[in-house]
Structure formats: C-alpha cells, structure tokens
Structure 1
Amino acid sequence: MSQTIVVAGATGDLGGRIIRSLLAEGAGVRALVRPGKAIPGVLQEAGVSVVQVDYLDASTLKDALAGADAVVSALSGLAPVMLETQTRLLMAAVAAGVPRFIPSDYAVDFTTIKEGSNRNLQWRREFRKIVDAAPIRATSVLSGAFADMLTGVAPLILFRQKRVLFWRDADQPMAFTTMDDVAGYTAKAALDPEAPRFLRIAGDTVSSRELAAIMTDISGTQYRTLYAGSIGSLRLMARVGRMLAKPSTDLYPAWQGMQYFGNMFSGDGAFHTLDNDRYGSRQWTSAREVLRAR
C-alpha cells in the first residue's frame, strides 16, 4: 500500500518539486493550500489531493493531516511562518497521530554555526528545540546552499568581472545542492520510517578556487579568485547592514546574504559527513553542470 505524505508550502517552488518527486515514488500526496491561493499545475496532477487550510484553525488543520504517514514542511518566510505557523503544523501532526515530520530546514548545518550568526538559520535552531520536544519522529534534510543560486542570485561568481569572491580562504569547501536534488532526496526521506534525526547531503562540494577553475574551463576565459576580506569584516558588514536597513519583509536582504557567506566561508556550517548514499546511488547535479547550463 502506498504511503500518504502531506506537503505544507505546496504552492512554493521547493514544495512543488517535492510533490513531483513523491509522485514519481508512487506516493499519494495531500497538498495543504491556504484559502485563496492559486493552484499550480503540479497540484492538479493525478495522485494529489488539495486541501485548503487555515493554519490558525487547529481543528481543521488536524483533520487535514489525519491518516497521513508523514508531513513534509516546505514553508518559507519570516519568523511568523518558520516558528509560529510551522509549530501549529507540528502540533496538528502530533494531535492527528502522524508518525513522522520533516521540518523546513534545507540549508547549511545550522546545528554547528555560532549562536545568533544568521537570522534565518537562528529560527531553525529555535524550531529544532520545539520539534525535539514533540512526541514525533523528526528528520531534517540539510543540503547546503541551493546550487541554483550560483548562476546569479547569490553574488559569489561575478560573471562580468570574471572573478569569484572569497572570504578568509579561497580553498574553503562549500556544499551546494540543486533544488531538484533536494526535492528528490526529501521524498525518499519522507517515505523512510527509519530516517534519522538529521540527513546531510551535498550535490557537490567546491571552493571558490575550484569554481574559478570551472568557469575558466567552461567559458574559455580566465576567471580568478578575489579576496573580499576576513570573516570578521564580513560579519561586521552584515551587522551594520542590518542596523541601517529599513524594516522589510524580504527573506534575503543583502545583509542576510552576508550572514550566509559568513557561515559558509568560516566553515562553521560545513558538513563533515554525508548521507548521499542512504537511498542508493543517484546522479547528483554538479556545480559544473549548473554553471554550464547558464
């Protein structure tokens, strides 16, 4: 009998990819959608049941999760979403007797970073305490930075200037995983009743120096690394940027990006072991493939 997996944040980019991966695994999917939200095409596919829920209505939310084998959170937002809404989802899963829960933790290793060094990851650290205290089996999929960001969203590779930035050490290894690879692996974890508390994956692990070599090879033009400063200076810029920034609902303001780079280039968010092969051999998308596709 196929398992039924509930996906919260189903209308988002990652949520939709997770749903496609679950369908490919033969799972039944129940997609939670807030009232009034547009229904994307993936939610109209066979095997997907769309349930409109108000996360403030505990009883309705509990009913929406009844009979599920696992709940996968792909919620994304500021503290009201990552802490308050996700906690309501967790408590409803417990109340409904759902055996497994996957939080929206797809990131570098927030368990090893410096306390308070990253606003977005700090919410994950705080939610970890909540989920660990709940009577449910939880599994966090830690995946490093999304490799899709290498093509321009994160200003690490300066394509016009033919430079790759680094702070402190050009040879610091960094984990990158595409959203499709994260989604495929998360689907496997959602269907795994023995999944451990943390699973760490990396589609590729590369340094700034290696990224420069890749771009040189792909483009036929010399790319060089560019020293951008120390970790201390980077974190100082992040603090100053945060203090000077106007109030915003932006999940990734410039200073937040600096905080992520601080965790990556300091090595405090790095993976020391990987669980890539837990579900058998798979073809992971490399940084070279992502950059070549650009």
Structure 2
Amino acid sequence: MAIKNVVVAGGTGALGTPITNALVQAGFNVTVFTREGSTSTPPAGTSVKQVDYKSVDSLKAALAGQDAVVSVLGSFVIGEQQPLAEVAVAPGSSIKRFIPSEFGINTRKTRDTPIGKILGGKTLLVDFLTEAAAKNPNFAWTGISSGHFFDWGLTHGSLGLDAKTHTATIYDSGNERYHASNLPFIGKAVAAVLRQAGTPEDKTANKYIEIASFTPTQNEVLAAVQALTPGQEWTVVHAKSDEAQKDAEERLSKGDYSTFLPLLSVWQFADGAGHAPDQADPAFGNKLLGLQAEDPKVALAAWLGK
C-alpha cells in the first residue's frame, strides 16, 4: 500500500467520523487532527493530535511522517485549509496525496455563480493544489464531489422532507435528477482513492471526480416515502426555483450567507439544472473506484424508523 499513514482534519464531525471509520476499516493508520483544547472524542482505532490550523509550525510538526491528508474542515472555517495545504506541499513534506474538503456539490462548476461566491474558498484551494501538483511529481490531489449528503439531509431538513409534519417541498416539476450520497458511502470513496494512490491502478491522481450513492428525482424520493408510510397523507408544497433563486441572490447581496440552503436546493432540484452525474460516463467516480450504487429506500426507511 503506497499510502499508509493518513491524517483526517475534522475527523470527529458528522462527515469526518464515517470517513475516519472507513479508513480504519481499510487498514490505514489514521491520525485525527483536532483543535487545541478540543474535548471531542475521535473514532476508535485512531490516534489524535491537537493542532493550531493557523500555525505553520504546529501543522508542520503534526504532519511529519504522514502520507496523506483528508480535509473535512467545514465551510465556515474553510480558509483554514490553506495553511494545511501549504505545509503539505512544502519542500521536504512527506505528503503524497491531499483530498480537500470538496464533499458536496462540484465547485468546479460553481465559479462565477451566486452559490460559488459562498464556496469561493474551496475553489481557490483546488486551484492552489493543481498548481502545486504541476510543480511536484511526488504530490497529487483528488477532489471528491458527492452532491447532497442524503442521510444527513433527511435528518436536518435540507432535502425538503419533514417527517414530523409529513410535508414535502418540491421544486418545479420535481423530475430533475440530482446528485446525492450517504455519509458512509463518501467514507468508502475516500478509502478507495487512498488505496489506489501511488499504485499502477491509480485513476484519480490530480482529478476532480463525482461519486453518488444514487441520482434520484424529488418525485421518486417522495413516492418511496409515501410507500413506506401507508395510510399517512403527505402535504406537498410546490416551490418555484426562479423565485427562490431571486430571493436568495437579493439576500446574499446584503451579506446574508444563510442563503446557502435555498441556493443549493435550486442548484440541485431546478428543472434543467443538469448537475446529476452521468452514471454511464467512464470518468464517473463510482466506476473509477469500483463503488456500487446504493438504494435510497434503505436510508429513507432508517430515517422513518421503519
């Protein structure tokens, strides 16, 4: 295995935990970076280092002897990826692969868009890694776009479904296919990337890939929910993507970054959005990594307690 020692920055969060668990299960030696003074509990089977993400000296010492970095730093602190990346690509660094915190929609497509304004720090970081890899043949990066966090989104309401009120918000016709992945599936993808890294089978070096548990429509998901809750009537609220986009852009222009969720909903669900990956494309991440698609009904049943 060309990669053995892996750092996960943000490895105790909602996504960081399943990623860390997948890496441990895959046989990697995993070190979780936590902030100085953090009391969070890392997943079993890992070691922990507290770091100051703003300190080059702190990061340099913590990254010594590591082979790869997986950043799962959240959007609100995404600027802290920059010092981490700079240390990872510096002369003398042992880091061979860097996976930035791209989990979510494909930021390579968001440049010069309203939602891209919010995600601009991610875009710049991938630009930086691309330039670094062009100068250093011993270093590579892999961007992984997973679309909506499906299982997490069900619980936190970002998919427009409310199990308590039995309400579903459907954008436009509800027939647009969208990009979604369950959190453990993302963990499997990260482990698969690092298993390949540095081997003759490496298919993701210096590439930005899209993975997906599935690419359903809103109407398909609603139909599945209705089938799982026989006898329960669901109220459907229809939303217009153009109106939602206009309102979100107006609020964003005033510095209101809480508009991310409506912008994300329009990006994914609007008729004609076209952001679901083509599963037949040879460059589709699932194909490159040997990942099998999942059944959304499994996550829906778990969410509904069925």
- TM-score range for the pair, normalised by the shorter chain length: 0.7 to 0.9
Q: Offset at 1:200?
A: 1.1
- 1:151 and 1:58 map into 2 onto residues whose CA distance is 37
Residues 128-207 of structure 1 mapped to structure 2, 5 A cutoff: 128-135=126-133, 136-148=139-151, 149-154=153-158, 156-159=160-163, 162-193=166-197, 194=202, 195-196=204-205, 197-207=207-217
Runs ≥4 residues deviating over 6 A: none
- Closer, same or farther in 2 for the Cα pair 1:126/1:169, shift >3 Å? farther
Task: Name structure 1 gaps, 5 residues minimum.
Answer: 247-251
Task: Single out whichever of 24-33 and 190-199 deviates more from structure 2.
Answer: 190-199
2:231 is equivalent to residue 236 of structure 1: no
RMSD of aligned C-alpha atoms? 2.4
- 1:82 and 1:14 map into 2 onto residues whose CA distance is 15
Task: Single out whichever of 94-103 and 191-200 deviates more from structure 2.
Answer: 191-200
Match 1:105 to one of 102, 106, 121: 102
Residues 21-170 of structure 1 mapped to structure 2, 5 A cutoff: 21-42=22-43, 45-46=44-45, 48-78=46-76, 81-83=77-79, 85-95=80-90, 96-113=93-110, 115-118=112-115, 119-135=117-133, 136-148=139-151, 149-154=153-158, 156-159=160-163, 162-170=166-174
* C-alpha contact (below 8 Å) 2:177/2:216 kept by paired residues: yes
Match 2:263 to one of 250, 259, 264: 259
* C-alpha contact (below 8 Å) 1:108/1:270 kept by paired residues: no
SS at 1:72's partner residue?
strand
* C-alpha contact (below 8 Å) 1:147/1:177 kept by paired residues: yes
Q: Offset at 1:112?
A: 2.0
2:275 is equivalent to residue 275 of structure 1: no
**1:249 counterpart residue number:** none
Q: Offset at 1:25?
A: 0.6
Amino acid at match of 1:138: W
Amino acid at match of 2:238: Y
**2:136 counterpart residue number:** none
* C-alpha contact (below 8 Å) 1:34/1:52 kept by paired residues: yes
**1:12 counterpart residue number:** 13
Q: Offset at 1:160?
A: 5.5
Q: Offset at 1:22?
A: 0.8
Counting aligned pairs with the same residue, the percent is 24
**1:215 counterpart residue number:** 225
Amino acid at match of 2:36: P
Amino acid at match of 1:82: I
* C-alpha contact (below 8 Å) 1:164/1:209 kept by paired residues: no
* C-alpha contact (below 8 Å) 1:110/1:269 kept by paired residues: no
Task: Single out whichever of 64-73 and 114-123 deviates more from structure 2.
Answer: 114-123
SS at 1:206's partner residue?
coil
- 2:30 and 2:150 map into 1 onto residues whose CA distance is 26
Task: Single out whichever of 125-134 and 28-37 deviates more from structure 2.
Answer: 125-134
- 1:38 and 1:211 map into 2 onto residues whose CA distance is 38
* C-alpha contact (below 8 Å) 2:177/2:274 kept by paired residues: no
Amino acid at match of 1:89: L
Q: Offset at 1:87?
A: 0.8
- 1:202 and 1:176 map into 2 onto residues whose CA distance is 6
SS at 1:278's partner residue?
helix
- 2:234 and 2:255 map into 1 onto residues whose CA distance is 33
* C-alpha contact (below 8 Å) 2:59/2:84 kept by paired residues: yes
* C-alpha contact (below 8 Å) 2:170/2:218 kept by paired residues: yes
Task: Name structure 2 gaps, 5 residues minimum.
Answer: 134-138
Amino acid at match of 1:290: A
Amino acid at match of 2:129: V
